[in-house]
């Protein structure tokens, strides 16, 4: 009884506040429009109210589910009570918000100067084009009704137990399937692997041809971020050094490539492949120079110092001091582009090139991870003092990690500048570094498939959800916190390397020696 009330109350308050927050940031309109697009319920002129009601219903059901989730089996009246309390509390908060904003907007107050999303037209839609009081009552009703429905849903699932059983059966099935020896042995067969590899290669070759240039652009960005993520993964994921200024290496790579190939401001016009080498080299050296003095700092100090370093690089590129070298805030245009039998690369060629380089980067990252060097990095991440006492030169190892990571970033920078044919200081804000860090963390630190997945989720998905553009960073921030609390190991944690017991030493080798 008491827990039901308490949980209902807290769930109600949380969802009430979430509702008000969504209202104030203008997400309710956007969300409703998206639901409309999804259900094919769009109209020109007056926006259909159904979409808004569907959105509210979803929110209400979530309120009810949260109020009852995790309480185990319960009586029907407990579920009803919890759902009702949650719905009432959140409904009353929503009621207040809608009534207040509606009345204020109708009275012609200056509410929009302070809260820019309180647009009269939007508010009119949120009021279902009716009076504030009537609209607010509808909101209350919806919250109460659907919260109870959500609670009932949870109750039904828990009381019958069939959902749980179904879930368990599913899991057992999966684990049984995973456990089958024959199936995993199939993948060890070289020929099978070769066929799979060829199939993937063919698919990868034809996809860019089928996609069209818009998709090639998005996937190209994803590919560049995969390379960046793999680089930062060496530093953060393997050796455990939190570097927040990774964008600095990206920037040095892009600028080196741009300045070596672009006609202005220097007009060096270097061979492109040499320029790529130059970018990688300059970024690596930057990593070395930055690493030498700071890599024996503690974790969080290192984070801040590298953050500062990233900002220093960006400000310096922009500053009057280096305008002669970097072209200042205007950036560098007409960056060199690769050619193929005399023809400049088009989007499909770029995509193929990027895919190839991603595969190479994955290969290198994988081999590094499984080597003596990679194990030393992980040891440093786990316990630096002990790693050093085990004979690892931790300082040198960390510098090596930073340099190799920076080399990846240099390569990504060169590709970025070449594909965009432009590079400017605002391409390398702190957000770039944080984006890459998010990819590594959300994907799973130290996990190669995780990073590919992370790049798709964080760079690919937002492109698909164009309406969410404004809300992307907000979701990013929330996602980082939630990930750290719920699943700190990432979406796809690094698989553990298994070593097979080596076969017994054959004894014949000894025999001839004995004879002699």
Partner 1 sequence: MTRAVIEAKHVTKRFGGLMAVDNVDLVVPEHTISSIIGPNGAGKTTLFNCVSGFYVPEEGEILFLGEPINSLPTHKICQRGISRTYQNIRLFGEMTAVENILVGEHTRLKTNWFEAIVHNPRYRTEEQESVERAFELLDYVGLCGLENTPARNLPYGAQRRLEIARALASQPALLLLDEPTAGMNPQETDEMVAFIRDLRDTRKITILLIEHDMRVVMDISDQITVLDYGLKIAEGRPAEIQSNQRVIEAYLGPGAAALSEKFKKKKAHYA
Partner 2 sequence: MIKKLRNLKLTPGLILRLVVGLVVLIYLGWRIYQTAFGEGTYGPDTWMRFLIAGLIVGGMYALIAIGYTLVYGTLFMINFAHGEVMMLGTYAGYFALEAFASLPAPTAADPNLNFLNAQPVIALILTFVAGAGVSALMGYLLEKIAYRPLRGAPRLVPLISAIGTSIFLQNAAQLLFGPQRRQYQNPDFLWRGTGWMIPVGGKDVMLTYTGLFSFVLSILLMVGLFILVRRTKLGKSMRAVAENKQAAALMGIDVDSVISKTFIISGILAGSAGVMWGIHNGLFNHYVGFIPGIKAFTAAVLGGIGNIPGAMLGGMLLGLLESLGPALLGLDFQLKDVIAFTILILVLIFRPSGLLGEALSEEKV
Least distance CB 499 / partner 1 (angstroms): 5
The DSSP code sequence of 221-247 is HHHHHHHHHHHHIIIIIIT----S-TH
Q: What is the rounded CA–CA span in Å between residue 95 and residue 132?
A: 9
- The sign of the dihedral angle between the CA atoms of 51, 52, 58, 61 is negative
Token couple for 342: 């005399």
Query: Is residue 315 within the footprint of partner 2 (CB under 8 A)?
Result: yes
Phi, psi torsion values for 216, nearest 5 degrees: -65, -35
The entry of partner 2, partner 1, none that residue 316 binds, CB within 5 to 8 Å by partner kind = partner 2
Contacts of 188 (CB under 8 A, 6+ apart): none
CA distances from 408 to 117, 193, 230, 272 (A): 42, 27, 7, 17
CB of 366: closest distance to partner 1 in angstroms? 10
Stretch that binds partner 1, among 137-145, 341-349, 364-372, 466-474 (CB under 8 A): 364-372
DSSP-based three-state secondary structure for 340: strand
Residue closer to partner 2 (CB basis): 202 or 312 = 312
At 500, phi and psi to the nearest 5?
-85, 145
Which residue in 319, 334, 339, 390 binds partner 2 (CB under 8 A)?
319
Are the C-beta atoms of residues 249 and 410 closer than 8 Å to each other?
yes
Structural Rg of the chain based on CA atoms: 29
* Among 311, 327, 361, 377, contact with partner 2 (rule: CB under 8 A): 311
**Among 12, 16, 26, 405, which residue sits at the site for partner 2 (rule: CB under 8 A)?**
26
Shortest distance in whole angstroms from residue 501 CB to partner 1: 6
The distance of closest approach from Cβ of residue 232 to partner 1 in the complex, given in angstroms and rounded to an integer, is 17
Size of the site for partner 2 (CB under 8 A): 56
Q: Is there binding between residue 9 and partner 2 (CB under 8 A)?
A: no
Q: Which is nearer to partner 2, 348 or 479 (CB)?
A: 479
Applying CB under 8 A, the span of 1-9, 20-28, 72-80, 372-380 interacting with partner 2 comes to 20-28
Q: How far apart are CA 331 and CA 326, in angstroms?
A: 7
The continuous run of DSSP H or E covering 339 comes out as strand 339-340
Q: If residue 333 lies in a helix (H) or strand (E), which one and from where to where?
A: strand 332-333
Between CA 135 and CA 128 the distance in angstroms is 6
Structure-token pair, residue 424: 């400017």
Please report whether residue 359 would count as binding partner 1 according to CB under 8 A.
no
Q: Does position 501 bind partner 1 by CB under 8 A?
A: yes
Determine, following the binding rule CB under 8 A, whether residue 378 of this chain makes contact with partner 1.
yes
| Residue 227 contacts partner 1 per CB under 8 A | no
Which residues contribute to the site for partner 1 (CB under 8 A)? 364, 367-368, 370-376, 378-379, 382-383, 385-394, 400, 404, 496-499, 501-502
Binding site for partner 2 (CB under 8 A): 21, 24-27, 114-117, 236, 240, 242, 244, 292-301, 303-305, 307-309, 311-312, 315-316, 318-321, 385, 395, 434, 437, 441, 470-471, 473-474, 476-481, 483-485, 488
């Amino acid at each position: 009884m008491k827990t039901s009330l308490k949980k209902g109350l807290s769930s109600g308050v949380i969802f009430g506040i979430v509702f008000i927050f969504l209202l104030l940031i203008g997400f309710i309109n956007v969300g409703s429009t998206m639901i409309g697009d999804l259900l094919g319920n769009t109209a020109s002129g007056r926006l259909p109210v159904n979409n808004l009601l569907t959105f509210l219903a979803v929110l209400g059901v979530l309120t009810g589910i949260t109020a009852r989730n995790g309480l185990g089996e319960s009586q029907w009246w407990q579920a009803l009570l919890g759902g009702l309390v949650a719905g009432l509390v959140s409904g009353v908060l929503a009621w207040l918000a809608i009534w207040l904003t509606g009345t204020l907007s109708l009275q012609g107050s200056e509410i929009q100067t302070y809260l820019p999303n309180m647009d009269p037209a939007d508010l009119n839609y949120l009021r279902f084009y009716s009076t504030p009081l009537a609209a607010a009552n509808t909101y209350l009703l919806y919250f109460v009704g659907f919260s109870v429905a959500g609670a009932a849903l949870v109750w039904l699932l828990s009381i019958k137990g069939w959902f749980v059983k179904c879930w368990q059966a599913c899991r057992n099935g999966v684990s049984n399937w995973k456990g089958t020896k024959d199936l995993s042995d199939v993948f060890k067969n070289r020929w099978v692997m070769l066929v799979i590899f060829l199939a993937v290669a063919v698919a990868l070759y034809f996809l860019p041809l089928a996609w069209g240039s818009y998709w090639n652009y998005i996937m190209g960005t994803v590919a560049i971020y995969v390379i960046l993520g793999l680089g930062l993964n060496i530093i953060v994921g393997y050796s455990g050094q939190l570097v927040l200024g990774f964008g600095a290496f990206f920037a040095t790579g892009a600028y080196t490539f741009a300045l070596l190939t672009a006609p202005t401001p220097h007009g060096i016009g270097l061979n492109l492949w040499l320029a790529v080498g130059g970018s990688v080299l300059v970024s690596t050296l930057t990593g070395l120079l930055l690493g030498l003095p700071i890599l024996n700092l503690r974790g969080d100090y290192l984070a801040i110092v590298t953050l500062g370093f990233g900002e220093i690089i960006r400000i310096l590129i922009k500053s009057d001091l280096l305008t002669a070298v970097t072209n200042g805030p205007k950036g560098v245009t007409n960056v060199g582009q690769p050619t193929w039998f005399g023809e400049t690369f088009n989007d499909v060629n770029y995509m193929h090139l990027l895919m190839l380089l991603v595969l190479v980067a994955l290969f290198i990252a994988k081999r590094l991870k499984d080597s003596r060097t990679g194990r030393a990095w992980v040891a440093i991440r786990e316990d630096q003092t002990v790693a050093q006492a085990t004979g690892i030169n931790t300082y040198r190892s960390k510098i090596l990690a930073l340099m190799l990571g920076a080399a990846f970033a240099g390569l990504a920078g060169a590709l970025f500048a070449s594909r965009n044919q432009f590079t400017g200081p605002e391409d390398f804000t702190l957000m770039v570094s944080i984006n890459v860090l998010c990819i590594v963390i959300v994907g799973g630190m130290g996990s190669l498939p995780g990073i590919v997945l992370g790049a798709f989720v964080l760079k690919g998905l937002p492109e698909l959800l164009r309406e969410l553009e404004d809300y992307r960073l907000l979701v990013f921030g929330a996602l980082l916190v939630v990930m750290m609390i719920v699943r700190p190991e990432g979406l796809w944690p690094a698989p553990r390397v298994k070593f097979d017991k080596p076969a017994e030493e054959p004894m014949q080798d000894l025999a001839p020696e004995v004879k002699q």
